[in-house]
Amino acid sequence: MKKTYEIAGEVMGFFDSFKGSRPAIDNERILIVRGKSRKVIPLDEFESKLTEIGEILGATELDADSEKVSEILEVGDKNIKRNEVNTGDLDNKGLIRMKKELESMGLVVQYKVFELPKFDVIIAIWEDKNELPPLYVEVTVSERED
């Protein structure tokens, strides 16, 4: 079975953003890693690249608007709060709000939510709308509650 660091490492390596990446939150139930790459992905390839890394991970993609994603975010919020970081309450609209905020700054954002046997994974990528570096990558790997 893969561990959180292995999953995050595969994602960061895939997007060539491993060097300089760092955990934003790391506890026994959740890992959030952020990184950036000098690599540029054409905007029309964002979706296919996210789908490709999901396939490499052997994960099942979930519809971002589904009730299941709301449940995943609730569990992730609990796992983050174990680290005593004040996040406010999260919901599935939080991903949409984040996307809109970044887009208002001239960035193009794409994210996907995946399920693995023991983990839920959210991968977000964004870059300048003019396809200028850097490419930002964030991966959240949260242990599923039994």
41 pLDDT tier (thresholds 50, 70, 90): very high
Please tell me the predicted confidence (pLDDT) of residue 97: 80
| Other beta carbons within 10 Å of 126 | 22
CA-based nearest residue to 25, from 73, 86, 74: 86
CA-CA distance, 42 to 45, in Å (whole number)? Answer: 5
Please tell me the predicted confidence (pLDDT) of residue 110: 94
Which amino acid appears at position 3 of this protein?
K
Does pLDDT of 87 surpass 70?
Answer: no
Please tell me the predicted confidence (pLDDT) of residue 76: 79
In percent, the amount of the chain with pLDDT more than 70 equals: 90
57 pLDDT tier (thresholds 50, 70, 90): very high
If one counts the domains in the chain, the total is 1
Please tell me the predicted confidence (pLDDT) of residue 116: 94
20 pLDDT tier (thresholds 50, 70, 90): confident
Can you give the CATH number for the domain in which 36 is found?
Answer: 3.30.310
| Mean pLDDT within 31-57 | 96
Which range marks the domain in which residue 74 is found? 4-143
In percent, the amount of the chain with pLDDT more than 90 equals: 60
| Other beta carbons within 10 Å of 101 | 11
Q: List all residues 6 or more positions away from 117 whose beta carbon is below 8 Å from its beta carbon.
A: 1
Please tell me the predicted confidence (pLDDT) of residue 85: 52
| Mean pLDDT within 5-33 | 93
Does pLDDT of 45 surpass 90?
Answer: yes
84 pLDDT tier (thresholds 50, 70, 90): low
